[in-house]
Chains A and B, each alone.
Chain A
Amino acid sequence: MSATTVTIPGVPEGGLELQGIVKRWRGAPRPVLDGVDLRIEAGTLVRIDGANGAGKTTLLRIAAAIITPEAGTVRLAGIDPERDRRAFHRRLAFLAAGNTGLYARLKVRQQLEWWARMCFLPRGEREARIDAAIAEWGIEEFAGRRLDRLSMGQRQRVRLAMTFLPDPELVLLDEPRTSLDEEGIDAVIGALHGVTERGGAGVWCAPAGEPAAIDFDAHWLLSAGVLAPAAQAALR
């Protein structure tokens, strides 16, 4: 089993730490993740690339404590999701790849209101936070419209607005560019900078070869179950 340690030097302790992550699919000849170590410090943005099926989504799902690895540990600011799941998920936000995770029959604002309550946002702050998210993601025009009546790009903005709504410390984005126009991508960049300015961190997963929309503090490639630094030339 190989292991790759990925650490960004010179930044404070904390953030996300994955150690020795192993995940294998039944019947597969080798693990999809084979002893992956990853440390993402507070205040940094990291990009992870990989070919289709390389295991990016699996890695993010393990980092988000959606699924558990066969071996290895996950910690966010020292919190073990298996011991204190709620505290872990109060700090983390996750955007799944694709255009899933929305209730087609709800209106945009209703969707955000529902999510704010799932995230335990204080009652007194909810309305202001939702208003701010609607403005930040440019969804005012269709905030009163049902999700199944929106374009794919508009839906992606709603998904992103939900992701950033609780002001997370760590944001895991799985292919966030999906269906977004330039303005939408700028909004993602702005939101990520907002997270790092607050002392948080962000991870952007993308298919190998997708142009980078932002300067990352680190850029890694997931291949054959192993995470390794991507070529320096691909950083920008």
Chain B
Amino acid sequence: MSELRDRLDAALAMARRDFLIFTSYRFRLVTMTMGSLFTLTLFHFLSRLVRAPGLESSGRYFAFVVVGLVIVEVLTSTMALPPVSLRQELVAGTFERLLVSPFGAVGGMAATLLFPFCLAAFAGVTTVILSTAIFGLSLDGGSAFLAIPYALLGALAFAPFGLVLLAMGLLVKQTVMGASFIVSGISLVAGIYFPISILPGWLRWASDVQPFTPATDLLRHALTGTALLHPAWLEMLKLVGFAAVGLPVALMAVRASVRRGRRSATILEF
């Protein structure tokens, strides 16, 4: 029990470290928020051009895409940021310190995802607030609160992807481009910018074999009241399944990459 408490405390210390480093750059939060604002403005105007079945009015497409943008924030934070952080750790030699700590490299790498998740949650909430306050997005007051548990469940289901990218980063040292490639691919098939119903049949399967489609669907339903592709319980079950299977497998991948890096003595290379 004490061991578990120590590990949780160390994981929180990692998140605090990342928070302190993030906030040590004074304008980072401002530029991040401004970035969200510009993206929303862009989609606000783009939404006037969109006329698709089910999204006949510009307001409906804007509501649709805002939730997609929140998911993109999560994707970017959990897939693109951690490999960059890992590389910085390798270059700065701080990863070596993690390796000789009781918390260890595996725990350290897993905990690297905590702050990006929190940051993504903050960015998501900011995006929704800006959309509501400036662009007139109307939230579904009855179910908006469900976005929190859905987002947490989604985060657990997304974490394995972030962990696998970290494991690969330790082995091949450079996964930033790979992460961007995956984020783009997921954006294409997860119903982030457009409904998956307009995807060609041969590509539709890709929407069903990852957790991003059900997470987007649930979040969109909770925030804007759109109809679900599948019953909520089934979408949630998919997320639980991805987390339950994916997390242990991804942790095994991280352990294996650490073991291999130690054996080949390339673990500290960058």
Contact = CB atoms under 8 A, between A and B. Distances in A.
A and B part of one assembly: yes
A222 B75 CA distance: 49
Question: Which among B17, B92, B103, B268 has the greatest number of chain A C-beta atoms within 10 A?
Answer: B17
A156 interface: no
Given A66-B268, A68-B262, A100 B102 contact: no
A118 B13 contact: yes
Contacts of B98: 118
Contacts of A104: 92
Given A100-B93, A100-B94, A102-B92, A66 B99 contact: yes
B208 interface: no
B104 A89 contact: yes
B230 interface: no
A119 B101 contact: yes
A101 B101 contact: no
Interface string B1-31: 0010010011011101100110011000000
A105 B16 CA distance: 13
B247 interface: no
B103 A66 contact: no
Interface residues of B, number: 31
Nearest to B263: A68
Contacts of B96: 66, 94, 96, 100-101
B100 interface: yes
A67 B100 contact: no
Nearest to B266: A67
A117 to B, nearest CB: 4
Contacts of A64: 99-100
A78 B253 CA distance: 29
Interface string B93-129: 1101111111110001000000000000000000000
Contacts of A177: none
A105 B265 contact: no
Main secondary structure of the interface of B (DSSP, over half): helix
A162 B101 CA distance: 11
Contact of B102 (A61, A67, A89, A114): A89
B179 interface: no
B100 A114 contact: no
B267 interface: yes
A105 B24 contact: yes
Contacts of A61: 265
Contacts of A146: 24
Interface in A38-79: 58, 61, 64-68
Interface of B: 3, 6, 9-10, 12-14, 16-17, 20-21, 24-25, 92-94, 96-104, 108, 262-263, 265, 267-268
27 contacts: A61-B265, A65-B100, A67-B262, A68-B263, A85-B104, A86-B3, A86-B102, A89-B100, A89-B102, A89-B104, A94-B96, A96-B96, A98-B93, A100-B92, A101-B97, A103-B94, A106-B17, A106-B21, A115-B97, A117-B10, A117-B12, A117-B103, A118-B101, A119-B101, A120-B103, A146-B24, A162-B97
Which 9 A-B residue pairs are closest in the complex by CB-CB distance?
A: A100-B93, A117-B13, A118-B101, A120-B6, A105-B24, A67-B265, A101-B93, A101-B97, A94-B100
Given A66-B100, A100-B92, 9 more contacts: A25-B265, A66-B96, A66-B268, A100-B93, A105-B20, A115-B101, A118-B97, A118-B98, A118-B103
